[in-house]
Chains A and B, each alone.
Chain A
């Protein structure tokens, strides 16, 4: 599990770089196609069949394109076809990529320094101290110890009846976790611990920073391609008027613009789509990783599993609606997706809840199972982080329902039987009481529990 988390850190950096490169590529395409457009208007000679012979000295300085609306005859310093190519691909293209990078960097700086606070303030989160909620504070501090965070995260409570939690912060030194009032009301100590451990692993994996980089890249890509589409659209309308003033090559220009416009239109449709698919695939994978991290910190998969189960049951009753899809990856579950318990599409921010619960339960039953192995068992394929764009489908159902009963049946197939033997040994080591009911069911009661237990099969009452 440790190796898994380490591997993923490397791959995440690679993926973020890939997204960034994709963004720069789009900047490059936009820069060069705009340049091509300007040259087409200002240097029509370069595109005509008869090429002018130029002196090489004119290559030295970049030539700023003429105003596209100017009706002046072409300048005497017009460029050759080769020069246009040269400036387009080696000067204007990289400039476009550079502008894209600057836009990205400005947004990134802003998001890096104020994104977390903004998120906390739009969700009306209130910062708490130890005195306000000692148990929550203790749980967070316990997880801080387990995860060896360098600083205590700030703790926020959101006065909301829904069950959710998120973590934010640009680095492990400046981090915050927020939980809703509903979560505190509906969950016991172990469950809250599981949720907090999940959030703390988002912090130690630097997921906020990572997802911010991806989100900003995604935003910049959308901004760029929409911008391109608008500019070209305006250019087309402009040149339509311009053609009325009697330029002979106006038809060619409009045709040329039309081709670029179609290209921009396609790009503006496809690029955000690809970027989003990468973004959501990353998000889902980071959720699995945070679950794995929670198991490493608490060594108690059951806590998080039952917490997720509580959430699933809660949202089946009252689905939430007011969640932004871009910030949704920060939450422990995406409230918009909680209705799909066992499927997820390529546009899901979170893996299906039932799958997450199943993986955690598998680890709880067989402690030797790593998160990776449990995941492979549940997904039926090899673990690979990153661009696994195939949407998850219903798992081979080894757990028919999310609720697990205390009963044992003798008709289990072998691996499950072995798992039960190991599980029983662990429970015995933890001083669980084993009660044998007359109907054959063995009840396993936690050591701290006192009182009556009702057999789930024959309804007999037992006293512990």
Chain B
């Protein structure tokens, strides 16, 4: 009778320990996924920085009158590449975004440029880079969601709290204004 109870307790303890081990390992894996996904965003930002000198070189000949626009891009790119705090870099990336956006508005006035094969190839690369950055951010948020789900749900949250795992934060638009609905007026 007592041996029966003893065996039951033993089995329970072994199962409990197994649960702790597997949950701990799972949390470590998920956290590493989050870190890796965050690093991926940097990889894609770097890709964009590397593309910009090429872009400026290709379009310089066509766009004599748009020196200011091109200089803005180069400047924003150099700012973004400088090491700094996360918020500083985010701001610099924001400026680069703006500069690129202005550039593509201006490009519309240069039909020759739009027929240039080199430029078209670069444009595809830039489009793809923009996509990659947003997909990398999206993937990062997905990993954060997976991790936070485990951290917050019972019973895994007990293990998470025991080993000091902290909730990870989502990537959000730094500039809150960017998220707000723009005013549209009908004339």
Residue positions of A touching B, CB distance < 8 A: 2, 134-135, 138-139, 141-143, 145-148, 189, 296-297, 299, 425, 428-429, 431, 433-434, 436, 450
A138 to B132, alpha carbons, bound, how many Å?
Answer: 9
Q: List chain A residues, Cβ under 8 A from B131.
A: 138, 142
Nearest chain A CB to B34's CB is how many angstroms away? 11
* Cβ A434 vs Cβ B186 within 8 A: yes
Chain A residue with Cβ nearest B131: A142
Q: In the complex, which of the residues B33, B132, B143 contacts A141, with contact meaning CB atoms closer than 8 Å? A: B132
A213 to B179, alpha carbons, bound, how many Å?
Answer: 46
* Cβ B139 vs Cβ A148 within 8 A: yes
Chain A residue with Cβ nearest B140: A148
Q: Is B50 an interface residue (CB 8 A)?
A: no
A321 to B57, alpha carbons, bound, how many Å?
Answer: 51
* Cβ B184 vs Cβ A145 within 8 A: no
- Give 1 or 0 for each of B124-167: 1 = CB within 8 Å of chain A CB: 11011001100110110011011000000000000000000000
List 9 A–B pairs whose Cβ atoms lie within 8 Å, in order of A's numbering.
Answer: A134-B125, A135-B124, A138-B131, A145-B40, A146-B139, A299-B138, A428-B182, A429-B182, A436-B186
* Cβ A148 vs Cβ B132 within 8 A: no
Q: List chain A residues, Cβ under 8 A from B145.
A: 2
Interface SS of chain B: helix, strand, loop or mixed?
Answer: helix
Interface SS of chain A: helix, strand, loop or mixed?
Answer: helix
* Given contacts A2-B145, A134-B124, A138-B124, A425 and B181 within 8 Å (CB-CB): yes
Give the total of B residues in contact with A, Cβ under 8 Å: 25
Q: List chain B residues, Cβ under 8 A from A2.
A: 142, 145-146
* Cβ B135 vs Cβ A145 within 8 A: yes
A134 to B132, alpha carbons, bound, how many Å?
Answer: 14
* Cβ A138 vs Cβ B125 within 8 A: yes
* Cβ A429 vs Cβ B181 within 8 A: yes
* Cβ A145 vs Cβ B182 within 8 A: no
Q: Is B23 an interface residue (CB 8 A)?
A: no
Q: Is B96 an interface residue (CB 8 A)?
A: no
Nearest chain B CB to A439's CB is how many angstroms away? 15
Q: List chain B residues, Cβ under 8 A from A147.
A: 139
Q: In the complex, which of the residues B121, B179, B182, B186 contacts A134, with contact meaning CB atoms closer than 8 Å? A: B121
Q: In the complex, which of the residues B143, B179, B184 contacts A148, with contact meaning CB atoms closer than 8 Å? A: B143
Nearest chain B CB to A295's CB is how many angstroms away? 12
A148 to B181, alpha carbons, bound, how many Å?
Answer: 31
Given A138-B124, A145-B132, 11 more pairs with CB closer than 8 A: A2-B145, A134-B124, A135-B128, A142-B128, A145-B40, A145-B44, A145-B135, A146-B138, A428-B181, A434-B186, A450-B108
Q: List chain A residues, Cβ under 8 A from B44.
A: 145
For the complex of A and B, list the 8 residue pairs with the smallest distance between their C-beta atoms, beginning with the closest.
Answer: A138-B128, A146-B135, A145-B135, A142-B131, A148-B139, A429-B181, A145-B136, A142-B132
Nearest chain A CB to B51's CB is how many angstroms away? 12
Nearest chain A CB to B169's CB is how many angstroms away? 19
Q: List chain B residues, Cβ under 8 A from A431.
A: 182
Nearest chain A CB to B175's CB is how many angstroms away? 14
A135 to B182, alpha carbons, bound, how many Å?
Answer: 32
Q: List chain A residues, Cβ under 8 A from B33.
A: 148
Nearest chain A CB to B170's CB is how many angstroms away? 14
Nearest chain B CB to A393's CB is how many angstroms away? 35
Q: List chain A residues, Cβ under 8 A from B146.
A: 2
Interface residues of B in 65-81 (CB under 8 A from A): none
